[in-house]
Amino acid sequence: MNRLRVFLTLVACIAIFGFGTTFLIAAIQGKLGWPEWWEVPPGERGWIALQYENPSCPPIEQHGIFRDIKVNADGIACTSDRRDVKIRYRWFVATDQNGSREYLRPVRGHNASNSEGTFDAWFLGAKEELARTGNTWVPKRRPIGQKEEEALINKDSRVAPTALRPSSSGN
Pairing of strands 117-124, 106-114: antiparallel
| Phi-psi category of residue 128: left, alpha or beta, with phi > 0 → left and psi -120 to 50 → alpha | alpha
pLDDT at 123 over 60: yes
Is 140:152 a contact under the CB 8 Å cutoff? Answer: no
pTM: 0.62
pLDDT (mean) for 87-104: 87
Q: Give the domain ranges of the chain.
A: 1-32, 36-163
Contact indicator for 57, 85 with CB cutoff of 8 Å: no
Q: Which residue has the higher pLDDT, 115 or 149?
A: 115
Please state the rounded mean pLDDT for residues 108-133: 80
Reported as a single tens digit per residue, the pLDDT across 141-166 is 544 444 333 333 333 333 333 333 33
pLDDT tens string 40-73:
999 888 888 899 988 999 999 999 999 999 999 8
Cα 22 to Cα 19, 29, 35, 62, 66: the distances in Å are 5, 11, 18, 26, 22
Selected residue with higher pLDDT from 22 and 129: 129
